[in-house]
Amino acid sequence: MEQDVIGKVLIRNAQSNKAITPNMIEDPALIHKGDTVKIVAARGNLSIITLGVVKSDGKLDDTVQVQNMTSGKIINAVVTGKNSVKVFY
């Protein structure tokens, strides 16, 4: 159906007048290598927020490496939205 492909990106070649199948599309990346993102670490009522630079593209719920701009450390974080990742500890 048309609504199944809206907002998706094509990952395989499509031929004209041929149906696009689910294995030909995927969700687009929300963050891209080199983007500055907000890193959120939260537990209970405590939240720590800082900035980092993403080392690879990532879609919602993907785990990506992010370099903390304050400490320089590279951490693993989960993509939670456009320009936002979350660290679980």
Q: How far apart are the first and last CA of the chain?
A: 40
pLDDT of residue 20: 78
What is the distance between the alpha carbons of residues 41 and 35, in angstroms, rounded to a whole number? 18
The fold of 2-87 is SH3 type barrels. (2.30.30)
Domain ranges of the chain: 2-87
Contact 48, 41 (CB under 8 A): yes
Mean pLDDT, 10 residues at a time, the chain of 89 residues? 75 81 83 97 92 96 97 96 92
DSSP type of residue 55? S
User: C-alpha angle with apex 70: 35 to 64, nearest 5 degrees?
Assistant: 40
* Other Cβ atoms within 10 Å of 28 Cβ, number: 11
Residue 85, beta-bridge partner list = 39, 79
H or E segment to which residue 13 belongs: none
pLDDT of residue 58: 96
